[in-house]
A and B are shown apart, each in its own frame.
Chain A
């Protein structure tokens, strides 16, 4: 069964304390892996797309990496404004038109 699992469910960090969020997937024929950020009361906002193992993308304090089984979202020296829920999604598997979302990691950065 096609599946996307994110860990941890919630993560609390001190401002400046770097860490990583994990997205593991079991999807055959991966066509793309996507990271989104969702603020409370809002819809998800697209961050990155990764298409093949070894690929990396960066944006400000965020860096996304991809292997054949998982993706990491590394956050370096986070600030309170980085607090949000981060969602991972994959395209591929039994239905190439389907996008499967993980349940997200709720990130909280304390000043």
Chain B
């Protein structure tokens, strides 16, 4: 079974802190994604990566950065956390094959509260 593991289920941070969210997958997938999920807004793509050290901006990259130094690990960084970044953050991975890119395997999510 594919496993995508997010380092924390719940996080509470203060405004202005630098926050790291970690994600690891064990299926050797080329693609990895970071989303945030808010009520009524669905899943919105923050960043995705299609290879080590490669990244592309999603729909809402402002205030976030990412790092992918190894194939299995994709990190989301909030440079200076703000209250409007309080949300559920979901990591996903998928194989490279074009038609299967939408078959994504998700982690359990990290619920981040910024106070």
Contact = CB atoms under 8 A, between A and B. Distances in A.
Interface of A: 31-34, 41-46, 49, 51, 87, 89-91, 96-99, 101-104
B16 interface: no
B43 A98 contact: no
B75 to A, nearest CB: 17
A42 B98 contact: no
Interface of B: 4, 33, 35, 40-45, 48, 50, 56, 58, 90, 92, 98-109
A87 B42 contact: yes
A46 B106 CA distance: 9
B23 to A, nearest CB: 11
Contacts of B44: 101
Is the contact region of chain A dominated by helix, strand, or loop, or is it mixed?
strand
B40 A99 contact: no
Nearest to B33: A99
Given A34-B103, A97-B50, A98-B45, A103 B109 contact: no
B109 A91 contact: no
A31 B4 contact: no
Given A87-B42, A101-B43, A46 B99 contact: no
B43 A87 contact: yes
Contacts of B105: 46
Given A44-B43, A51-B99, A97-B50, 8 more contacts: A31-B102, A34-B103, A42-B108, A43-B109, A91-B99, A98-B45, A101-B43, A102-B42
